[in-house]
Structure 1
């Protein structure tokens, strides 16, 4: 995969070496290739590895096939992608419910394949949503930006807010800290497992009470599989329409990734997107009118 990345440096004054290593997280082997091939230009000029890059200097990096070998996947349908934000490196889309974020098999078509068709290049998953969940999800458009976004995710610098319609009347605000592990009998499910589970933290805030249910905002501080679904169901507030954890039916799982925000790692611009879902709003409207009540 050959491509060039050009951007004005927003970072504090630093050397080329430290910029590539500490801010851009470029692996040692690729940094070596960049140096010996003179594929790092600052303001259009080749520079010494210890040269100072100042805020506003234009950095140009050129990567060859040996830096990032070509990765190809089948392309899907570009016209079904709803873009919430996009630039040369990052794309945030509104995922519909009922569609996987990425396939389990090389030939399986999922959201990743549709996004790659839209971008006309192979894209990369940063985080995922369950197939039944809709809403905002972030992808990298090249392998250069992927580890930087992964670090933001690990550092909890990508903020994700979900809306859910939960059974019963929830507390106004609550923090769930239950550890989550695998279900021993059902591989599809997760359970609260205080002894062997992984730490999980969900902040839940009630937005509105609706006919024996609550519209809640959930903020993830960790990213465990089915985290919101397990935390809410464990405390008696299973998400309506959840095929695994709830007996209250609806035409879809009532969980939606409502908003996503982060500081762009190359420009330091604050990016915030809000995703809408017609199907979520339709079920919510029916619940308000008691159509689904009990």
Structure 2
């Protein structure tokens, strides 16, 4: 069962585990693996529309619409960057800087990977803060993407010299999972403000700072 974190008559937000893709795929033996959207529809016994996506390796808050009208409305909110998204990440490497902005055009390279260019014609934009966890001897990141480019946060941290732990594609240190988690969504819908927050439930994240539990106050 996928935990339902919040819901209305038009949408529901669930906790997506890492390791599950959005849509159907096939494994090395040509066996069909159902995506999270299909599994959720079976769980909820209703048709659902995804209005944004999370990478297969990413866990966290996932929003789905319960009717076509809501799907169009919420998809437009995402397209207009009127839904604030906040992520957690963990890295074993020392970043070039500890807070600020990461901006640059995304360039596609080999095998479906991306890199951050120095140009800013149509840039991926991310704001971030970080702290060092003494017990883990690792750095935690609080990230707010202002754009929604493919692999944006994974590439952003790679560009800082601090690839995400467990992210094999971008040369992160070997770990028990990819340490990227969609922690919060903040948005207004039909005149009501919603703030949906869910801390990670898998992996060892060390001590997540208390003020990060309300990320909109840290990265307003």
2:16 to 95, 113, 119: 95
Alignment gaps of 5+ in structure 1? 1-79, 287-294
Partner of 1:191: 115
Partner of 2:124: 200
Larger radius of gyration: 1
1:244-283 equivalent positions in 2, closer than 5 A = 244-264=169-189, 266=190, 268-280=191-203, 283=204
Shift of 1:166: 1.9
TM (normalized to structure 1)?
0.63
1:181 to 95, 99, 107: 107
Partner of 1:215: 140
Contact 2:104–2:120 (8 Å) recurs in 1: no
* Cα 1:196/1:284, change in 2 over 3 Å: closer
Contact 2:41–2:47 (8 Å) recurs in 1: yes
Contact 2:124–2:147 (8 Å) recurs in 1: yes
The count of corresponding residues between Structure 1 and Structure 2 is 200
Where 1:118 maps in the other structure, the secondary structure is helix
TM (normalized to structure 2)?
0.83
Partner of 1:114: 39
Shift of 1:212: 4.5
Q: Distance between the aligned counterparts of 2:188 and 2:24, measured in 1?
A: 28
Q: Give the superposed CA RMSD.
A: 2.2
Does the alignment pair 1:146 with 2:67? no
Does the alignment pair 1:134 with 2:59? yes
2:82 to 144, 157, 162: 157
Partner of 2:218: none
Q: Distance between the aligned counterparts of 1:197 and 1:244, measured in 2?
A: 25
Contact 1:239–1:255 (8 Å) recurs in 2: yes
Partner of 1:239: 164
